[in-house]
C-alpha cells in the first residue's frame, strides 16, 4: 500500500521521494501560491467541483494565471485512483507562482507547469491520527484574538483574507500555541469579539433546528464542508444562516462545530476550559455532513 502519491499537472505519477521543487520556487520562498485540501474517500475526491471552483477563485485573488481546471480535475482523479479505495486520504493541490524570475526572464515550461511559469502538483498522504479522535470524541478549543476587525476584508483586499493561500505559518503557530495550553484547536475572534474561523476550519453553531456560520465578508474562508452541511440540512428542514455572532454566542449555543474537508465535523467538547455536552442532534449533523460531501456538486454551486 502506497503511503504517498504525487502527480504533476500533466498527469504523470511521480516518485514522492524524489525532489520536485526548485530552490527558488516562490511558493517556498514566500508562500506565494494557493492550495486546496480534499478528502479522498473510496478512491474519489469529495466535493471536487467545489474545491476546483475555490482554487480558481483563490488564484484570481492572487493574480495567478487562470488554472486549467480540466487538467487539475484529471490530475486529481489520477492521484485519488492511485491512492486506492482501502482508506481515506488527504489530497492537496498546490499551485505556486513558480520560479523566481520565470515570468520575466526565465520560462520554465514542462510537466510541472499550469501556465508556463506556475508550479502545480497533487499530493496525497494518509489522514492524520488526530482526525479519527476528533470525529469520534470531539475537540477541546480555545478562543484566540486574530487582531483584525470584521471590516478589514472589504477594506483591504490585498490581505487575501478569503483566499486559501499557502501562507499558513500564523495558523500553524496558533495551533502550536493551543497545544501548549492542552487544547486541540482554536477559534479566532475579531477585535469586536465576533467569531471568525479556526486556523483550518469553519465555525458553525447550532441552536435548536438552526445552524449559523459567520459570513465570508467578515474575512473568513468560505468553507466547502460548511457549504455541504447547509445544503443537506436545509433539505432536512433546518434553518441555515450566514450571520455574524459573538464569542458569547459560542457559550449559549446548543453545540459548536469546527468543519473542514478532512476532519469533516468535529464537535467542540470544551471551550476555553468549559465543558460542552453533546446535543441529541449531534449524530444527525455528522450524517448531514457526510451526505453533503458525497453529493454531486457542480461549479455553479460555489
Ligand atoms: N477556514 C480555514 C482558514 C481553513 O484553512 C479551512 C480548511 O482548511 C476551512 C476554513 C474549512 O474549509 P473546508 O471545509 O473547505 O476544508
**Which contiguous run of DSSP H or E holds residue 231?**
helix 224-235
Taking the chain (302 residues) in consecutive chunks of 10 residues, what is each chunk's mean pLDDT? 95 97 96 98 98 98 96 98 97 97 52 71 97 98 98 96 96 98 98 98 98 98 98 98 98 98 98 97 98 95 90
| The C-alpha cell that represents 190 in the structure block | 475579531
Check: pTM over 0.80? Answer yes or no: yes
User: Distance between CA atoms of 225 and 244, rounded to whole angstroms?
Assistant: 18
User: Distance between CA atoms of 114 and 102, rounded to whole angstroms?
Assistant: 13
Cα(197) to centroid(ligand 1), Å: 8
Bridge partner residues of 56 (DSSP)? none
223, 226, 228, 230: which to mutate for ligand 1, most atoms within 8 A of CB? 223
Bridge partner residues of 116 (DSSP)? none
At 106 the pLDDT is 38
Which atom of ligand 1 lies nearest, measured to the CA of 54? 15
At 101 the pLDDT is 84
Report DSSP state, residue 204: E
Say if residues 7 and 75 touch (Cβ distance below 8 Å): yes
Cα(260) to centroid(ligand 1), Å: 5
Cα(302) to centroid(ligand 1), Å: 14
Which atom of ligand 1 lies nearest, measured to the CA of 225? 14
At 113 the pLDDT is 54
Which atom of ligand 1 lies nearest, measured to the CA of 262? 16
Residue with grid cell 506565494, as numbered in its chain: 32
**Which contiguous run of DSSP H or E holds residue 213?**
strand 210-213
At 112 the pLDDT is 55
104-138 burial string, b = 16+ CB within 10 Å, else e?
Answer: eeeebeeebbbbebbbbbbbbbeeeeebeebbeeb
- Establish how many alpha carbons lie within 13 A of residue 157's alpha carbon, considering only the half-sphere containing its beta carbon: 5
At 148 the pLDDT is 97
ipTM above 0.90, yes or no: yes
Amino acid at each position: 500500500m502506497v503511503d504517498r502519491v504525487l502527480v504533476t499537472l500533466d498527469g504523470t505519477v511521480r516518485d514522492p521521494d524524489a525532489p520536485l521543487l526548485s530552490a527558488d520556487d516562490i511558493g517556498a520562498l514566500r508562500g506565494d501560491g494557493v492550495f486546496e485540501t480534499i478528502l479522498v474517500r473510496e478512491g474519489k475526491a469529495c466535493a471536487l467541483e467545489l474545491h476546483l471552483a475555490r482554487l480558481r477563485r483563490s488564484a484570481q485573488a492572487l493574480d495567478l494565471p487562470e488554472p486549467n481546471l480540466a487538467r487539475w480535475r484529471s490530475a486529481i482523479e489520477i492521484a485519488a485512483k492511485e491512492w486506492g479505495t482501502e482508506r481515506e486520504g488527504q489530497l492537496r493541490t498546490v499551485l505556486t507562482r513558480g520560479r523566481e524570475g520565470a515570468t520575466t526572464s526565465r520560462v520554465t515550461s514542462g510537466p510541472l507547469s499550469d501556465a508556463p511559469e506556475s508550479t502545480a502538483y497533487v499530493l496525497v498522504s494518509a489522514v492524520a491520527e488526530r482526525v479519527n479522535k476528533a470525529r469520534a470524541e470531539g475537540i477541546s478549543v480555545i478562543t484566540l484574538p486574530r487582531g483584525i476587525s470584521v471590516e478589514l476584508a472589504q477594506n483591504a483586499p490585498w490581505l487575501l483574507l478569503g483566499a486559501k493561500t499557502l501562507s499558513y505559518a500564523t495558523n500553524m503557530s496558533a495551533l502550536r500555541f493551543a497545544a501548549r495550553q492542552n487544547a486541540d484547536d482554536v477559534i479566532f475572534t475579531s477585535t469586536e469579539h465576533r467569531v471568525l474561523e479556526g486556523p483550518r476550519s469553519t465555525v458553525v453553531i447550532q441552536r435548536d433546528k438552526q445552524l449559523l456560520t459567520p459570513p465570508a465578508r467578515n474575512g473568513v474562508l468560505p468553507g466547502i464542508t460548511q457549504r455541504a452541511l447547509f445544503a443537506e440540512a436545509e433539505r432536512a428542514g433546518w434553518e441555515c444562516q450566514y450571520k455574524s455572532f459573538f464569542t458569547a454566542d459560542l457559550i449559549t449555543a446548543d453545540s459548536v462545530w469546527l468543519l473542514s474537508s478532512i476532519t469533516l465535523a468535529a464537535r467542540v467538547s470544551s471551550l476555553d476550559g468549559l465543558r460542552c455536552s453533546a446535543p441529541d442532534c449531534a449524530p444527525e449533523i455528522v450524517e448531514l455532513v457526510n451526505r453533503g460531501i458525497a453529493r454531486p456538486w457542480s461549479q455553479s454551486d460555489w
